[in-house]
Structures are given as structure tokens and as C-alpha cells.
Amino acid sequence: MNINIKAATATLLATATFLMAQPAIAEVYAQNPNLGNTPMEGTATFEAFGGKEGLVKIMDDFMIGLVADPRTKPFFDNNKQTFIKAMLVEQMCELMNGGCKYPGRDMKASHANMKVNREGFNALVEQFQFAMDKHNVPFSAQNKLLAKLAPMYREIETTTGDAVAPVFPKTE
């Protein structure tokens, strides 16, 4: 065994620093602080979703599922549905490099008036999978998008206890 201990240690340290620094997150903020993740390269996934037109149809069915599911109903059974769907289309479109610009708030701000737990987060993933299945998005393309969305649990989930539905300020 003739291992260069010094070089090995340096490599290990460099790897650890790389992992801890999470450069992906830094890039996100350089790109679009509100998007939640870096967009994909290429447009193959965007095309597998049927482009923006396909996304709009998927979001329509997604919202129907979210309102029907008792786990997600409290978060979506309100008068913000049209706005939320439009925001989701822009966000997904930009993440899939479809040439859009998500104009919404970051994930923390957009979920500040509610408490989301893992049950709610996973329930939403399941309803999204149903909607993508219904529109024949290939499983592999679904997972490419889900890989961009899943890490957002870190901003969206704010409790490991009971979920709390959003509270909207009264508007005249």
C-alpha cells in the first residue's frame, strides 16, 4: 500500500467542502432567486410535457386532483386557483428550459401564510404524478422534473406537526 496520505486528505477535504458549499444553491440565486432550482439543459423534457400548452392542461387536472384530495384540499380549495395554476405553469416551464420567466415569489414567501408537513408535500407529489400520467408524460420525463421540484421541500415544509391551511388577508 503506497497511498499518498496528504493527497488523499486534500481530496477528501475538497470533496467535503464541495458538498457543504452546495454550489447549486448559489447558482440558483444568481439565476432567479425565486425559481427554486436551476433550469434543465436542453428542451427534451419540456417537449415530453407537450410544451407550455401541455403544461396548462396538466395543471388544470392537477388542481382538480388537489382539491379532491382531502390531504391537499385545505390548501387549494380557495379563490387563488387560477393564479396558482398560472404561476405553476411559468415555474415548471422555466425549470424545463421552455423559455418562460417565473414572475412569482420564492418558495418560502409563497408558503409563508400556511404550514405544510411531509404528508401534504407527498400528497401533492402524488396528485402531480396522477395528472402527468393522465397526460401520458413518460415516467422518465416526470422524474426529471420531480428531481428539480423535490428539493423545494426544504423551503415549503415548515412543520413536522399538523398542517395549517393558508390564511388570506381580507381584501375590500
Partner 1 sequence: MKTIQKQAQALLCNSLLASAVAALFATSALADELNYSNKLLLTGGVSQVEGAAGGGLTPWAVIGGYGTNNEVGGSAHYTYVKTGDYKLDTYGFTIGLFDRVEFSVAEQSFDLGKLRNKVTAGLGADVFGRNQLTQTIVGLKVRVAGEAILDADTWMPQIAVGLQYKDNDETDFIKSAVIGAKSDHGTDVYVSATKLLLAQNLLLNGTLRLTKANQFGLLGFGGDKHDSYQPMLELSAAYLLRKDLAIGAEYRMKPDNLRSPANDLLFGGANVVDLKEDDAFDVFIAYAPTKNISLTAAYVNLGNIATVKAVGADYGNQEGVYLSAQIGF
155 forms part of the interface with partner 1 (CB under 8 A) = no
Cβ proximity to partner 1: between 21 and 109 the closer is 21
Of 7, 161, 167, 172, which lies in the binding site for partner 1, with binding defined by CB under 8 A?
Answer: 161
Task: Please give the grid coordinates belonging to residue 155.
Answer: 423551503
Q: Which stretch binds partner 1 (CB under 8 A): 20-28, 80-88, 97-105, 108-116?
A: 20-28
Q: Furthest-apart CA pair in the chain: how many Å?
A: 77
- Partners of 157 in beta bridges: 116
CB of 160 vs partner 1, minimal distance in Å: 5
Rounded Cα distance, 23 and 29, in Å = 10
The sign of the torsion formed by the CA atoms of 90, 151, 122, 116 equals negative
For the chain, how far is it from start to end, CA to CA, in angstroms? 77
C-beta of residue 117 within 8 angstroms of C-beta of residue 159: yes
Of 60, 61, 77, 119, which lies in the binding site for partner 1, with binding defined by CB under 8 A?
Answer: 119
Q: Which stretch binds partner 1 (CB under 8 A): 17-25, 60-68, 81-89, 93-101?
A: 17-25
The sign of the torsion formed by the CA atoms of 86, 87, 92, 95 equals positive
Cβ proximity to partner 1: between 57 and 71 the closer is 71
Binding site for partner 1 (CB under 8 A): 19, 22, 24-25, 37, 70-71, 117-119, 122-123, 125-126, 129, 139-140, 143-144, 146-148, 150-151, 153, 160-161
